[in-house]
Chain A
Amino acid sequence: MIPISAVFALGLCLFCIGLLGVLIRKNLIIMLMSLELLLNGVNVILAGLGYHLRSPRGSIFAVFVIIVAVSEAAVGFALVLSYFRQKKTYDPDEINDLKG
């Protein structure tokens, strides 16, 4: 039996590493990758709770999280490609077209 606290620790570590990556990096692709890490951490906690509570709901919620993560990755890449085609830059600090 795997203790639930170990699962929480792993999920929190993955989440915080992903959050750190989103905040600290200035490369749009690596920022998107860190978002995947963040969602993976959430999935680990959901799966661990399903295992701990003996319920299939953990897996079901994690499947929905995966679906949303895939959608986010696809739309994010489309936006990055389209933006790069227009502006020829990947610097997130330069992306301020909507700034009033």
Chain B
Amino acid sequence: MPAVIAFAVFIFFAVLAVVSAVLVILQKNVMHSVLYLAFTVLAVAGVFFCLEAEYLGAIQLLVYGGGIVVLYIFVIIIANLKETVAEKRGLIPRLFIIAVPALLLLEAAAVLLGNKGAFPAGRGGRPGFVPLAEMLLSTYLVPFEVASILLLAVLIGAIIVARRKLLHDPD
């Protein structure tokens, strides 16, 4: 694929991701928000494919698009979020709230523009699946195993926190 086309596809998915991310936080209806979140997730998966991180894109599609979005939809259906909280704030808190991300964005952009030559590109071909798998299961084996323990703990913890406590049920 020529470089120009790759960059154009990247820009397409990037614009899609940013626009739908803005729409996620602007929706009144939570269900619409979830649908825009799914859109954002798919666009970010496209960005991963453009960045030659195919494994990451596949994980993003499976875990986010297939798991987390469905989890959100189930929680919204179960919790029946009809009543919405009035989003009223004073002028000063609102200014602070908008200023924090804006200043962070400006600061990060200034730092990155100030150190433009600080990121020399690496050499060599594209890292495929094989180096990734070898590094994940050798250098990063301990974090990998810790992550599996974390997932087990989350599984048990989420069940314990979210279960309904039936005091009179002998089971």
Q: Which residues of A contact B (CB under 8 A)?
A: 1-10, 12-21, 23-27, 29-30, 32-34, 36-37, 40, 43-44, 47-48, 50-60, 62-64, 66-71, 73-75, 77-82, 84-85, 90-92
Contact check, B97 vs A20: say whether CB atoms are below 8 A apart.
yes
Given contacts A75-B154, A75-B158, contact A81 B147 (CB under 8 A): no
Known: A23-B101, A24-B97, A47-B48. Is A29-B76 also a contact (CB below 8 A)? yes
B128 to chain A minimum Cβ distance, whole angstroms, is 8
Name the prevailing secondary structure of the A interface residues.
helix
Tell me the smallest distance from the CB of A78 to a CB of chain B, in Å. 4
Option from A2, A17, A27 in Cβ contact (under 8 Å) with B18: A17
Contact A33 B51, CB 8 Å, known A23-B100, A77-B75: no
A2-B7 CB under 8 A given contacts A37-B24, A60-B132: yes
Interface of B is mostly: helix
Interface hits, B67-117 → A, CB 8 Å: 67-68, 71-72, 75-76, 78-79, 81, 83-87, 94, 97-98, 100-102, 104-105, 108-109, 112, 116
Instruction: Quote the shortest CB–CB distance from A69 to chain B (angstroms).
Output: 8
Q: How far is the CA of A75 from the CA of B122 in the complex (A)?
A: 38
